[in-house]
Amino acid sequence: MSEELEIVLTPRGQDKLEKRLDYLRNVQRREVADRIRDSKQFGDLTENAEYEGAKNEQALVEGQIADLRRVLQIAQVLEDEDIPTDYVGIGSIVKLTNLDDDDEWELTLVSSVEADPDNDLISDETPIGQALFDKKVGEDVQIRVPNGTLHYRIDSIRK
């Protein structure tokens, strides 16, 4: 019997997932259904690449819908008062200074479900997230990454 992982979302993350689910259900699903309908006119369904592609896309969309519904159903959504500012935790916005080159970086620590590194939403399960978790303002943090070790100082923590 596998134990269900706890999923924690920020309010912003919950909103983003709900919008994605709405898009999949109300736009993407309809587009795929239209492709399936249109592809039926290309002949025998057993040799119809358009039809097969549309059916595969339909399965993918339905799987994504099921996954998002499950996540939203079981996720614990943080209230504003649950987001720490005296230490780094889920939902914390952390301003860091790279001690090697003085570059500054601001990131938000989130769960893996809402992680988006391109937008500085860093999962608590990554080496960076694990190294920052429970740290306080003023602390120096060494983060082991595949290319070596990064050295940061935590300058501020906010919501």
Pick from 49, 77, 105: which residue ends a domain?
A: 77
Residue 141 has pLDDT above 90, yes or no: yes
Mean pLDDT of the chain: 92
- Judgement on whether residues 24 and 48 belong to the same structural domain of the protein: yes
pLDDT at residue 40 in the model: 79
Residue indicated by tokens 């500085």: 120
Residue 32 has pLDDT above 70, yes or no: yes
Domains: count for the chain: 2
Query: Is 103 inside a domain boundary?
Result: yes
- Judgement on whether residues 150 and 128 belong to the same structural domain of the protein: yes
* Measured distance CA(96)–CA(82) in Å, rounded: 22
- Start-end of H helices in 42-109: 49-74
pLDDT in tens, 103-120: 999 999 999 999 999 999
Please compute the mean of the pLDDT values over residues 68-82 and round it to a whole number.
94
Query: Is 59 inside a domain boundary?
Result: yes
- Judgement on whether residues 72 and 130 belong to the same structural domain of the protein: no
Cβ atoms within 10 Å of 116's Cβ, excluding its own: 13
The range of the structural domain enclosing residue 43 comes to: 8-77
The answer to whether residues 106 and 155 touch, using CB atoms and an 8 Å cutoff, is no
Query: Is 39 inside a domain boundary?
Result: yes
- Judgement on whether residues 152 and 100 belong to the same structural domain of the protein: yes
Strand (E) positions, the chain? 8-9, 76-77, 93-98, 104-110, 121-123, 140-145, 148-158
* Measured distance CA(28)–CA(46) in Å, rounded: 24
pLDDT at residue 70 in the model: 95
Task: Write the CATH number for 101.
Answer: 3.10.50.30
Please compute the mean of the pLDDT values over residues 64-76 and round it to a whole number.
96
What 3-state DSSP class applies to 16?
Answer: helix
Pick from 53, 77, 101: which residue ends a domain?
A: 77
Token readout for 12 is: 């912003």
pLDDT at residue 45 in the model: 64
Q: Which of 5-9, 15-19, 20-24 has the lowest mean pLDDT?
A: 5-9
* Measured distance CA(40)–CA(150) in Å, rounded: 55
CA angle 25, 76, 19 (to 5 degrees): 25
Residue 4 has pLDDT above 60, yes or no: no
Residue 2 has pLDDT above 50, yes or no: no
- Judgement on whether residues 104 and 154 belong to the same structural domain of the protein: yes
- Judgement on whether residues 89 and 149 belong to the same structural domain of the protein: yes
pLDDT at residue 48 in the model: 75
Query: Is 2 inside a domain boundary?
Result: no
Please compute the mean of the pLDDT values over residues 24-53 and round it to a whole number.
85
* Measured distance CA(24)–CA(20) in Å, rounded: 6
pLDDT at residue 90 in the model: 95
* Measured distance CA(16)–CA(20) in Å, rounded: 6
Query: Is 54 inside a domain boundary?
Result: yes
